[in-house]
Structure 1
Amino acid sequence: MALKFLLDENVDKAYQYQFLRQSPESVMWVVGDPGAPPRGTLDPEILIWCEEHDFILVTNNRKSMPVHLNDHIAIGRHVPGILLLNVDFSIGRNLEELFLIAEYAFEDEYQDRIVHLPLPENLE
């Protein structure tokens, strides 16, 4: 089954545009898109939505997301994964990492985990 990504509302929509331009068969929604959580949804509710709809969250929220994930797991919930964009990378470089994940990730590889981009094996 192909991975589905949900971009946090604070992530530049250029990620969605460029990702889908290169991979039109993929699913990448942004908070606020039809079918996605509305803008302003609190992070704990976004994690519940991602769990219920099987979306990996892509965010730049490095500060509070680990706390939200720990709280989410502590109440017996799960999340398909959280990917943290690298603020020192260009959109294109972060997208390269997302393409690799979309293409090669194993099922549940990122479940209940926060992964900082780049992937460890892609450090230059």
Structure 2
Amino acid sequence: MLKFTADENFNNNIVRGLLRQMPDLDIVRVQDVALLGADDPTVLEWSAQEGRILLTHDVTTITQYAYRRVEVGVPMPGVFEVSLNTPIGRAIKDILLLAECSFEGEWEGQVRYIPL
């Protein structure tokens, strides 16, 4: 099953909903791993070291840092960018679908947008 990092500004209602639906989902918030206030490259590096896909609403800067990691050949387990316009229930459904139906490493080097 996939492992996730929720960035600092990711909607906690989505995180709580994910854990209600799938209590054993491996998801951590940057606030819980001493990364509060860390810049995007640091969060991406930590997520890569931990083999975690990053969940974010940041469509402005994360993408460029993620693709820069890919260009220079360093690990980037994936980024799922969830639109702020996506209803919470839809975001939860799509993330759970990805978590349950994806293979480990399947999203390496990719940025994907939710809703699917």
Please indicate the TM-score interval, normalised by the length of the shorter structure: over 0.9
**CA-CA distance at 1:87 after TM superposition:** 2.1
TM-score for both structures, normalised by structure 1: 0.87
**Structure whose residues are more often helix by fraction:** 2
**Bigger relative contact order, structure 1 or 2 (CA pairs below 8 A, ≥6 apart):** 2
Q: What is the SS of the residue equivalent to 2:77?
A: coil
50, 53, 56: which one pairs with 2:53?
Answer: 56
Q: Which runs of 5+ in 2 are unaligned?
A: none
| Partner Cα distance (1:46, 1:99) in 2 | 22
Distance 1:86 1:62 in 2: 8
SS of structure 1 residue aligned to 2:36: coil
What secondary structure does 1:17 align onto? Answer: helix
Where structure 1 has 5 or more consecutive residues not aligned to the other structure, the ranges are 120-124
Give the Cα separation in 2 of the matches to 1:16 and 1:70. Answer: 25
Residue 70 (structure 1) shift: 2.2
Determine if the alignment matches structure 1 residue 87 to structure 2 residue 84: yes
Q: CA deviation at 1:56?
A: 0.5
Return the alpha-carbon distance in structure 1 between the equivalents of residues 6 and 21 of structure 2: 17
| One-letter amino acid matched to 1:6 | T
How many pairs were matched up? 116
- The secondary structure found in structure 2 opposite 1:76 is coil
Give the TM-score taking structure 2 as reference length: 0.93
Secondary structure, aligned partner of 1:32: helix
Greater radius of gyration (CA):
1
Task: Please tell me the root mean square deviation across aligned C-alpha atoms, in Å.
Answer: 1.2
The correspondence of residues 1-124 of structure 1 with structure 2, limited to 5 A, is 2-33=1-32, 36-119=33-116
Question: What percentage of residue pairs aligned between the two structures are identical?
Answer: 29
